[in-house]
Structure 1
């Protein structure tokens, strides 16, 4: 029976491990391309001074022949490392440094390309600042752009965190734009998701009410922001982009306008009594401290921290989502009001349904 590429790689890697070669084969899931991994010396232009874990692209197909060639290459490189004879020039004769262009030059080109494909608006500027520039500004922009430099930057972030995923995404996009293979950065992404915020960390309804009451000495805008996020499940920056005309007329309906992350949508409270309890019709809009959604969101986060709210603003939004499950709001409706696709909403929150939630939903359908 013919072995799968995954099985063959696993067997040959065990032989490399038994032989203490120090280099292994890597077959990235979903890609028909082979890499070697090991603790190699830093490449030219790298800020690193000591050998560290790196990946080498082989440009070999992930078939039986390619894997066997990769196995021999791994043994050859392992021998060179042991004897102190390893040289990158031998294995990367065509290593691209793009005429030694700096990171700063590549970032400028990438930004121009990014906004060449989309209009620069507060929404797109927020995405650029939060998803890309926040990462690129940590780089030494005078360094030559190499995959080694980008990998080192990714490794500077904490594993299995949202920050690590953001670093790998942004650095991978820059690598791809510059013609470098982003696969080693993809490998470093790790595991992170909304599961990192568990329901037990979210405030219960009683804790939400207590949290608002504890803000009695806080500015009106902090209390109003807290109450609106708790009652309506909106994002922090969306507090600055609300259509409150119907709401001020006595309706519970609030609209998020179209200049936010997910465009215009209708939102409604799950606990209607909170509108009165939290005095939400006494509008106290926060003063914006910036034009971008990121800056506006930071304004709310800073207010929560200063007035000792025991959880970040987004926990109120997540709590709204879990509450929607427990009261039986249809997933497609909840997703629409939160500004998510149904797929994202279900992936993010449905796993938080308890057995009691499932039983209540079942009883609502069949009665009894």
Structure 2
């Protein structure tokens, strides 16, 4: 027990006299702690601070040896501080004797930090922490920065900075989006990422936030419509339109083509009209072949005529491109030209593994993405091709049988002549 009589005396004594009393108390404390000679945590003093010292299991990131000599700052050098340190030493010894290892978790400083870390943080802080964590394992390139912006940064704007990440607030955020829409689907995905980042993902009932989003089905432009639309376009708009249609480019990739890639494309030695897409794009470097090859000449693609825009942001350039296409009579998203390229590859019987490489997809992603765009017209073409093949096979079989009969007849006639 601490002698309460000291409490009033401390205010009247000089600092030196207080430290003498503190040292005396420390000696007595350590005698009690180490009465059996097995205590691993004792009390000590340096200047005006009480320390807990001992050879203890090594703390994380503090070396590879199993134990280490520690001097842990604990509290001010007062008699009450010595009493508190004695209690903490007994607590540490009991913990270690029971098989515990993380003795530092019993220290006030650690517990304060843990308590501070467990306090809910506003969304503004969570967004910053998540972004810092995101870039720890990624290099910042044009491609990765564009992915971050579209997949996270833009969606973060729908999460109020001052709100906490709670089920009530999540419901409030999601309720502001249309049911089963892409914005709702994307928001739920990002909120899950934030929840996982701070370790509460499993504590939230995500079933109440279900979103059955499916892209709206729409008809893709026919090749005839593409050609007719091109004929009414200005040269710069027509060149961009023709490049996306002929090579199935993402609209963003059109703006990422460098002078070097375009020089390779227009080189007279490039007889197959191969287009080289740069590495710093969504799916990296690849070679793309034209479908249809005759469109290279039809759309005058070797005569490079890029549209001019003052915007430096990729999304704004793409938005401007779509507006130019609409103004010229193409009333569909520019991305539909890329979808049409994928379907055209199927109609022209390009093997799916090759088509997926031309478009910068895995085989699985290619099939998953583009099967839903195949219309009844595409299915009819495939069926008609199959029937045409069967018809050709039947005719060939008939000719072979007829040929075999004629050979036999010739041999019979030869025998009669002899």
Map 1:119-138; keep pairs closer than 5 Å.
119-138=139-158
- Structure 1 residue 333, shift from structure 2 partner: 0.8
The answer on 1:329 being equivalent to 2:344 is no
**Take 1:365 and 1:125, find their aligned partners in 2: how far apart are those partners?**
49
Q: Is the 8 A contact 1:325 1:357 kept in 2?
A: no
Flag the 1:324–1:298 CA change in 2: closer, same or farther, 3 A. same
Counterpart pick for 2:282 among 261, 271, 274: 261
Map 1:182-197; keep pairs closer than 5 Å.
184-185=205-206, 188-193=209-214, 196-197=216-217
**Take 1:278 and 1:186, find their aligned partners in 2: how far apart are those partners?**
51
Question: Which residue is 2:381 aligned to?
Answer: 357
Counterpart pick for 1:239 among 254, 262, 285: 254
Q: Structure 1, residues 142-192: CA drift from partner, whole Å, max 9, x if none?
A: 222223222322232222332222111112111211222276457645333
- SS of the aligned residue for 2:120 comes to coil
**Take 1:213 and 1:191, find their aligned partners in 2: how far apart are those partners?**
41
Question: Which residue is 2:229 aligned to?
Answer: 211
Q: Structure 1, residues 317-340: CA drift from partner, whole Å, max 9, x if none?
A: 111111111111110111111111
What is the TM-score with the length of structure 2 in the denominator? Answer: 0.58
Flag the 1:186–1:301 CA change in 2: closer, same or farther, 3 A. farther
Q: Is the 8 A contact 1:211 1:309 kept in 2?
A: yes
- Structure 1 residue 253, shift from structure 2 partner: 0.6
**Take 1:306 and 1:139, find their aligned partners in 2: how far apart are those partners?**
35
Flag the 1:222–1:177 CA change in 2: closer, same or farther, 3 A. same
The structure having more radius of gyration, on CA atoms, is: 2
Q: Structure 1, residues 22-64: CA drift from partner, whole Å, max 9, x if none?
A: xxxxxxxxxxxxxxxxxxxxxxxxxxxxxxxxxxxxxxxxxxx
- Stretches of structure 2 that go unaligned for 5 or more consecutive residues are 1-115, 394-418
Please provide the CA RMSD for this pair: 2.6
The answer on 1:117 being equivalent to 2:141 is no
**Take 1:265 and 1:294, find their aligned partners in 2: how far apart are those partners?**
22
The answer on 1:311 being equivalent to 2:359 is no
Map 1:256-295; keep pairs closer than 5 Å.
256-287=277-308, 293-295=314-316
The answer on 1:160 being equivalent to 2:172 is no
Flag the 1:244–1:197 CA change in 2: closer, same or farther, 3 A. farther
Q: Is the 8 A contact 1:97 1:144 kept in 2?
A: no
Flag the 1:211–1:169 CA change in 2: closer, same or farther, 3 A. same
RCO comparison, higher one (Cα < 8 Å, 6+): 1
Flag the 1:263–1:222 CA change in 2: closer, same or farther, 3 A. same
**Take 1:105 and 1:115, find their aligned partners in 2: how far apart are those partners?**
16
How many residues were matched structurally? 267
- Structure 1 residue 349, shift from structure 2 partner: 1.9
Flag the 1:112–1:315 CA change in 2: closer, same or farther, 3 A. same
Q: Structure 1, residues 228-261: CA drift from partner, whole Å, max 9, x if none?
A: 1111111001012331233212331101110000
Q: Which moved more, 1:179-188 or 1:122-131?
A: 179-188
Q: Is the 8 A contact 1:130 1:294 kept in 2?
A: no
The answer on 1:300 being equivalent to 2:324 is no
